[in-house]
Amino acid sequence: MFTWSNLQIIIDDHIDILLNRLIKDDVFDGFVAPRLKEYYKNILTWFLIFSVLYLSLNTFFKNVWKNKYYLKLSNYKRKDWNSRVVAFIHAIIVSPFCIFLICKFGFPWDKNENDYSDKEINIFYSTISISIGYFMWDIIYSVGDYKKGGIGFVIHGFGAFLIYIFTFKSNVLGHYAIMYLIYEFSTIFLHTYWVFDKIDLTGSIGQLISSLLLLVTFFTVRIAIGSIFIFKLLHDIIFDREVCSVYLSLYFVLNIIPMQTLNYIWFYKMIYSIFKHFEPSKKPNHESKSVKKTN
Protein backbone atom coordinates (compact mmCIF):
# COMPACT_ATOMS: atom_id res chain seq x y z
CA MET A 1 0.00 0.00 0.00
CA PHE A 2 1.31 3.42 -0.95
CA THR A 3 2.06 5.81 1.91
CA TRP A 4 3.94 9.08 2.20
CA SER A 5 6.48 7.27 4.35
CA ASN A 6 7.19 4.83 1.52
CA LEU A 7 7.59 7.73 -0.88
CA GLN A 8 10.03 9.42 1.49
CA ILE A 9 12.08 6.22 1.70
CA ILE A 10 12.22 5.98 -2.10
CA ILE A 11 13.29 9.62 -2.40
CA ASP A 12 15.95 9.20 0.30
CA ASP A 13 17.32 6.09 -1.41
CA HIS A 14 17.59 7.90 -4.74
CA ILE A 15 19.31 10.88 -3.12
CA ASP A 16 21.81 8.54 -1.46
CA ILE A 17 22.57 6.87 -4.79
CA LEU A 18 23.09 10.23 -6.46
CA LEU A 19 25.33 11.60 -3.70
CA ASN A 20 27.46 8.44 -3.62
CA ARG A 21 27.97 8.60 -7.37
CA LEU A 22 28.88 12.29 -7.23
CA ILE A 23 31.63 11.43 -4.76
CA LYS A 24 32.85 8.32 -6.57
CA ASP A 25 32.72 9.29 -10.27
CA ASP A 26 35.37 11.29 -12.05
CA VAL A 27 34.12 14.53 -13.58
CA PHE A 28 36.23 14.77 -16.72
CA ASP A 29 36.63 11.09 -17.50
CA GLY A 30 32.87 10.83 -17.79
CA PHE A 31 32.91 12.97 -20.93
CA VAL A 32 35.60 10.98 -22.76
CA ALA A 33 34.22 8.80 -25.57
CA PRO A 34 37.11 6.80 -27.09
CA ARG A 35 34.87 5.02 -29.61
CA LEU A 36 34.26 8.34 -31.33
CA LYS A 37 37.62 8.09 -33.11
CA GLU A 38 36.34 5.02 -34.96
CA TYR A 39 33.47 6.95 -36.50
CA TYR A 40 34.69 10.51 -36.99
CA LYS A 41 35.25 9.84 -40.70
CA ASN A 42 31.63 8.73 -41.04
CA ILE A 43 30.49 11.88 -39.24
CA LEU A 44 32.58 14.19 -41.43
CA THR A 45 31.44 12.36 -44.56
CA TRP A 46 27.79 12.90 -43.73
CA PHE A 47 28.48 16.50 -42.77
CA LEU A 48 29.96 17.04 -46.23
CA ILE A 49 27.05 15.23 -47.89
CA PHE A 50 24.46 17.43 -46.20
CA SER A 51 26.55 20.56 -46.85
CA VAL A 52 26.97 19.81 -50.55
CA LEU A 53 23.30 18.90 -50.80
CA TYR A 54 22.27 22.22 -49.29
CA LEU A 55 24.63 24.23 -51.50
CA SER A 56 23.45 22.46 -54.65
CA LEU A 57 19.71 22.83 -54.06
CA ASN A 58 19.55 26.46 -55.16
CA THR A 59 21.07 25.56 -58.53
CA PHE A 60 18.81 22.53 -58.84
CA PHE A 61 15.53 24.34 -58.14
CA LYS A 62 16.46 27.52 -60.02
CA ASN A 63 18.34 26.27 -63.08
CA VAL A 64 17.59 22.57 -63.50
CA TRP A 65 14.02 22.10 -62.31
CA LYS A 66 13.14 25.80 -62.73
CA ASN A 67 10.48 25.40 -60.09
CA LYS A 68 8.04 28.30 -60.52
CA TYR A 69 7.20 28.46 -56.83
CA TYR A 70 10.86 28.50 -55.84
CA LEU A 71 11.64 31.26 -58.34
CA LYS A 72 9.06 33.53 -56.69
CA LEU A 73 10.83 33.38 -53.34
CA SER A 74 13.36 35.86 -51.97
CA ASN A 75 16.92 34.69 -51.36
CA TYR A 76 16.25 34.25 -47.65
CA LYS A 77 13.12 32.19 -48.26
CA ARG A 78 15.00 30.06 -50.77
CA LYS A 79 17.57 29.30 -48.09
CA ASP A 80 14.77 28.33 -45.74
CA TRP A 81 13.27 26.08 -48.43
CA ASN A 82 16.66 24.43 -49.04
CA SER A 83 17.30 23.87 -45.33
CA ARG A 84 13.94 22.17 -45.00
CA VAL A 85 14.75 19.86 -47.90
CA VAL A 86 17.98 18.85 -46.14
CA ALA A 87 16.10 18.25 -42.87
CA PHE A 88 13.46 16.24 -44.72
CA ILE A 89 16.07 14.03 -46.40
CA HIS A 90 17.86 13.44 -43.09
CA ALA A 91 14.57 12.44 -41.46
CA ILE A 92 13.66 10.13 -44.35
CA ILE A 93 17.02 8.37 -44.08
CA VAL A 94 17.31 8.06 -40.31
CA SER A 95 13.91 7.72 -38.65
CA PRO A 96 12.43 4.71 -40.51
CA PHE A 97 15.73 2.86 -40.14
CA CYS A 98 15.82 3.57 -36.40
CA ILE A 99 12.29 2.22 -36.03
CA PHE A 100 13.47 -0.93 -37.80
CA LEU A 101 16.48 -1.21 -35.47
CA ILE A 102 14.33 -0.94 -32.35
CA CYS A 103 11.96 -3.59 -33.71
CA LYS A 104 14.91 -5.85 -34.50
CA PHE A 105 17.13 -5.34 -31.45
CA GLY A 106 14.65 -4.33 -28.75
CA PHE A 107 14.95 -1.69 -26.03
CA PRO A 108 18.13 -0.58 -24.23
CA TRP A 109 16.75 -1.07 -20.72
CA ASP A 110 16.50 -4.79 -21.48
CA LYS A 111 20.23 -5.09 -22.24
CA ASN A 112 23.49 -4.78 -20.36
CA GLU A 113 26.67 -3.22 -21.68
CA ASN A 114 28.15 -6.57 -22.74
CA ASP A 115 25.01 -7.92 -24.41
CA TYR A 116 25.71 -6.16 -27.70
CA SER A 117 27.44 -7.78 -30.65
CA ASP A 118 30.00 -5.88 -32.71
CA LYS A 119 27.51 -5.87 -35.59
CA GLU A 120 24.82 -4.20 -33.49
CA ILE A 121 27.20 -1.56 -32.20
CA ASN A 122 28.51 -0.78 -35.66
CA ILE A 123 24.98 -0.39 -37.04
CA PHE A 124 23.97 1.84 -34.13
CA TYR A 125 26.93 4.18 -34.33
CA SER A 126 26.98 4.29 -38.12
CA THR A 127 23.37 5.46 -37.95
CA ILE A 128 24.10 7.98 -35.20
CA SER A 129 26.99 9.30 -37.30
CA ILE A 130 24.52 10.30 -40.01
CA SER A 131 22.60 12.46 -37.57
CA ILE A 132 25.69 13.96 -35.96
CA GLY A 133 26.86 14.96 -39.44
CA TYR A 134 23.45 16.52 -40.03
CA PHE A 135 23.50 18.38 -36.71
CA MET A 136 26.98 19.73 -37.54
CA TRP A 137 25.56 21.17 -40.74
CA ASP A 138 22.47 22.42 -38.89
CA ILE A 139 24.58 24.30 -36.34
CA ILE A 140 26.45 26.14 -39.08
CA TYR A 141 23.23 26.97 -40.92
CA SER A 142 21.50 28.13 -37.72
CA VAL A 143 24.44 30.35 -36.75
CA GLY A 144 24.29 32.02 -40.15
CA ASP A 145 20.53 32.43 -39.80
CA TYR A 146 20.29 33.33 -36.12
CA LYS A 147 19.23 36.95 -36.69
CA LYS A 148 16.02 35.77 -38.37
CA GLY A 149 15.70 32.21 -37.12
CA GLY A 150 16.57 33.02 -33.52
CA ILE A 151 19.27 31.85 -31.16
CA GLY A 152 16.98 29.03 -29.98
CA PHE A 153 17.68 26.92 -33.06
CA VAL A 154 21.43 27.39 -32.57
CA ILE A 155 21.20 26.19 -28.97
CA HIS A 156 18.91 23.33 -29.98
CA GLY A 157 21.24 22.15 -32.74
CA PHE A 158 24.36 22.43 -30.59
CA GLY A 159 22.70 20.66 -27.67
CA ALA A 160 21.51 17.80 -29.87
CA PHE A 161 24.96 17.52 -31.44
CA LEU A 162 26.70 17.14 -28.06
CA ILE A 163 24.11 14.73 -26.69
CA TYR A 164 24.66 12.34 -29.59
CA ILE A 165 28.43 12.78 -29.43
CA PHE A 166 28.45 11.63 -25.81
CA THR A 167 26.37 8.53 -26.59
CA PHE A 168 29.61 7.07 -27.96
CA LYS A 169 30.55 6.64 -24.31
CA SER A 170 28.76 3.30 -23.93
CA ASN A 171 26.79 0.73 -25.89
CA VAL A 172 23.63 1.31 -23.87
CA LEU A 173 23.75 5.05 -24.56
CA GLY A 174 24.19 4.33 -28.26
CA HIS A 175 21.09 2.16 -28.13
CA TYR A 176 19.16 4.94 -26.40
CA ALA A 177 20.31 7.36 -29.11
CA ILE A 178 18.70 5.16 -31.75
CA MET A 179 15.43 5.42 -29.86
CA TYR A 180 15.53 9.20 -29.73
CA LEU A 181 16.32 9.51 -33.42
CA ILE A 182 12.81 8.16 -33.99
CA TYR A 183 11.78 11.72 -33.07
CA GLU A 184 12.80 12.69 -36.60
CA PHE A 185 9.85 10.73 -38.01
CA SER A 186 7.54 13.68 -37.33
CA THR A 187 9.92 15.97 -39.24
CA ILE A 188 8.92 14.23 -42.47
CA PHE A 189 5.34 15.44 -42.16
CA LEU A 190 6.33 18.82 -40.74
CA HIS A 191 8.09 19.82 -43.93
CA THR A 192 5.49 18.15 -46.14
CA TYR A 193 2.86 20.29 -44.41
CA TRP A 194 5.00 23.41 -44.87
CA VAL A 195 5.60 22.89 -48.58
CA PHE A 196 1.86 22.86 -49.33
CA ASP A 197 1.82 26.55 -48.36
CA LYS A 198 4.64 27.32 -50.76
CA ILE A 199 3.00 25.65 -53.76
CA ASP A 200 -0.33 27.43 -53.31
CA LEU A 201 -2.14 24.44 -51.83
CA THR A 202 -2.93 25.96 -48.44
CA GLY A 203 -6.07 24.41 -46.98
CA SER A 204 -6.10 21.59 -49.53
CA ILE A 205 -7.02 17.98 -48.77
CA GLY A 206 -3.36 17.09 -49.14
CA GLN A 207 -2.33 19.62 -46.52
CA LEU A 208 -5.14 18.49 -44.23
CA ILE A 209 -3.91 14.89 -44.42
CA SER A 210 -0.34 16.06 -43.90
CA SER A 211 -1.35 18.13 -40.87
CA LEU A 212 -3.15 15.17 -39.30
CA LEU A 213 -0.14 12.93 -39.87
CA LEU A 214 2.09 15.63 -38.40
CA LEU A 215 0.01 15.92 -35.24
CA VAL A 216 -0.31 12.16 -34.81
CA THR A 217 3.38 11.42 -35.37
CA PHE A 218 4.61 14.39 -33.33
CA PHE A 219 2.38 13.49 -30.39
CA THR A 220 3.21 9.79 -30.64
CA VAL A 221 6.99 9.88 -31.03
CA ARG A 222 7.88 13.11 -29.22
CA ILE A 223 5.20 13.64 -26.58
CA ALA A 224 3.77 10.27 -25.55
CA ILE A 225 6.52 7.75 -26.29
CA GLY A 226 9.25 10.39 -26.01
CA SER A 227 8.30 11.34 -22.45
CA ILE A 228 8.36 7.69 -21.39
CA PHE A 229 11.71 7.13 -23.09
CA ILE A 230 13.22 10.16 -21.36
CA PHE A 231 12.07 9.00 -17.95
CA LYS A 232 13.46 5.52 -18.63
CA LEU A 233 16.78 6.93 -19.84
CA LEU A 234 17.39 9.34 -16.99
CA HIS A 235 16.31 6.92 -14.28
CA ASP A 236 18.35 4.15 -15.88
CA ILE A 237 21.64 6.03 -16.21
CA ILE A 238 21.45 7.88 -12.89
CA PHE A 239 19.94 5.38 -10.48
CA ASP A 240 19.67 1.89 -12.01
CA ARG A 241 22.95 1.36 -13.84
CA GLU A 242 26.33 3.02 -14.09
CA VAL A 243 26.58 3.03 -17.87
CA CYS A 244 28.24 6.45 -17.71
CA SER A 245 29.45 8.85 -15.04
CA VAL A 246 26.84 10.67 -13.00
CA TYR A 247 28.22 13.96 -14.31
CA LEU A 248 27.49 12.96 -17.88
CA SER A 249 24.07 11.77 -16.71
CA LEU A 250 23.38 15.19 -15.20
CA TYR A 251 24.54 16.80 -18.44
CA PHE A 252 21.91 14.75 -20.25
CA VAL A 253 19.32 15.96 -17.74
CA LEU A 254 20.25 19.61 -18.29
CA ASN A 255 19.97 19.21 -22.07
CA ILE A 256 17.19 16.71 -22.61
CA ILE A 257 14.57 18.16 -20.26
CA PRO A 258 14.64 21.68 -21.80
CA MET A 259 14.62 20.17 -25.29
CA GLN A 260 11.66 17.99 -24.40
CA THR A 261 9.91 21.03 -22.95
CA LEU A 262 10.36 22.68 -26.35
CA ASN A 263 8.52 19.74 -27.90
CA TYR A 264 5.51 20.41 -25.66
CA ILE A 265 5.57 24.09 -26.63
CA TRP A 266 5.97 23.28 -30.33
CA PHE A 267 3.09 20.81 -30.19
CA TYR A 268 0.80 23.46 -28.72
CA LYS A 269 1.88 25.93 -31.39
CA MET A 270 1.32 23.34 -34.11
CA ILE A 271 -2.24 22.71 -32.99
CA TYR A 272 -2.94 26.43 -32.89
CA SER A 273 -1.34 27.05 -36.28
CA ILE A 274 -3.10 24.15 -37.99
CA PHE A 275 -6.52 25.13 -36.65
CA LYS A 276 -5.94 28.69 -37.85
CA HIS A 277 -4.91 27.34 -41.24
CA PHE A 278 -8.18 25.52 -41.73
CA GLU A 279 -10.43 28.11 -40.12
CA PRO A 280 -13.01 28.82 -42.84
CA SER A 281 -13.61 32.45 -41.97
CA LYS A 282 -9.98 33.51 -42.35
CA LYS A 283 -7.44 33.22 -45.12
CA PRO A 284 -4.13 32.10 -43.61
CA ASN A 285 -0.98 34.12 -44.02
CA HIS A 286 1.64 31.77 -45.44
CA GLU A 287 4.51 33.24 -43.52
CA SER A 288 3.02 33.90 -40.13
CA LYS A 289 0.94 30.75 -39.90
CA SER A 290 3.41 28.17 -41.13
CA VAL A 291 4.74 25.81 -38.53
CA LYS A 292 8.37 26.52 -37.73
CA LYS A 293 11.15 24.09 -38.48
CA THR A 294 12.10 21.70 -35.68
CA ASN A 295 14.82 19.07 -35.55
**Is the per-residue pLDDT at 291 higher than 60?**
no
Angle between helices 171-180 and 118-144 (to 10 degrees): 50
The reported pLDDT for the residue numbered 147 is 64
More confident residue, 283 or 256: 256
Q: What is the pLDDT confidence band of residue 9, given thresholds at 50, 70 and 90?
A: confident
112-119: long-range contacts at Cβ-Cβ below 8 A with a sequence spacing of 24 or more? 112/172, 112/241, 113/170, 113/171, 113/172, 113/243, 115/171, 116/171, 116/175
Choose the weakest-confidence range: 95-104, 135-144, 232-241, 284-293: 284-293
DSSP letter (8 states) at residue 36: G
Kindly report the pTM of this predicted structure. Answer: 0.85
Residues 100-104: what's their mean pLDDT?
A: 95
More confident residue, 23 or 102: 102
The reported pLDDT for the residue numbered 288 is 41
DSSP H helices in the chain: 4-24, 40-59, 68-71, 75-105, 118-144, 146-149, 151-166, 171-180, 185-198, 205-217, 225-235, 246-277, 286-289
